[in-house]
A = this chain, B = another copy of it.
Amino acid sequence: MVDDGGLDVVAPIGGAVRDLLRAAPGASVDLGAIDPRSTPGLPDEQLTGAERKGWARRQVELVGRDLARQQEMLFAGAKVDPDAGRRVLLVLQAMDCGGKDGTIKRVVGAMNPLGVHIRAFGPPTAEELRHHFLWRIRRALPPPGQLGVFNRSHYEDVLVPRVQERAPEHVWRPRYAEIDDFERELTAAGVVVVKVFLHISKVEQARRLLARLDDPTRHWKYHPSDVDARARWDDYQAAYADLLGRCGTDVAPWHVVPADRKWYRDWAVAHLLRETFDTLDLGYPPADFDIGRERERLLGTAGPLKVNRS
């Protein structure tokens, strides 16, 4: 039994989540070898099955408080020193129903909305198609001090054209290298890129699509094309396997988060973000003014400060 009644964040078992879930760079990642229902880093041996879900959800709440404070420190630092350009960019990719929206709601939702910069990428518009595929991505980057979140991203451009055969290989193939260059450029500019693939099973996707069909408050989330894409499941998995291996660089590695269990997914992404913020060695910036003098100036304009707080 883990003591989960306290207010402490329990460290992941076996080391940092970002190490446990990092995809090995190479030609291709073997997604078949990663169980979407597995829970790497969770103290499974100390919890019974029934306890794990509630325990993980409470941990997400606790980690969320850390994230809110860390994000505020990033924001504060950028206000004082915007030229440093420091920011974090969370890139979320998944099959339909993989849980991108839920992750944003539950994990990113713990932070102050003022410091969060979310952008979603749908099929390119006519205008976007007239530009280089990274054009719309560059315009959506977060400003310094913010956590950017990409709900889908430039990786769609090595997925859809390939699987749906909308572009020949000589169009999409060079994009792997272009993406590498782009992410190195971002890193050099102070952007820490955290790439997450939410890995669900085909049977879990079917369950989630069925749940949408069965719930009138969620029909708007369903589209018949979801079943068409599902028919190409294996092709999409192969395309993901390639991009996860091919674009898993040292500066911007990919993480494969087993995502059939929503509570594990949230726990893992919350820890990934927390560990990323930790690497930034954040703190509140010191005053760039004379505190004593400001207090005097202020009191000079204040009148009597009655204590009648409520």
Contact = CB atoms under 8 A, between A and B. Distances in A.
B284 A206 contact: no
Contacts of A310: 37, 49, 52-53, 261, 263
Nearest to A53: B310
A291 to B, nearest CB: 6
A77 B105 CA distance: 19
Interface in A158-203: 202-203
Q: Is the interface of A mostly helix, strand, loop or mixed?
A: helix
| Number of chain copies forming the complex | 2
A15 to B, nearest CB: 24
A206 B109 contact: no
A104 interface: yes
A219 B285 contact: yes
21 contacts: A77-B220, A101-B112, A104-B112, A105-B112, A105-B114, A109-B109, A109-B112, A202-B303, A206-B299, A206-B305, A207-B305, A209-B298, A210-B299, A213-B298, A216-B287, A219-B287, A224-B289, A227-B294, A227-B297, A230-B298, A230-B301
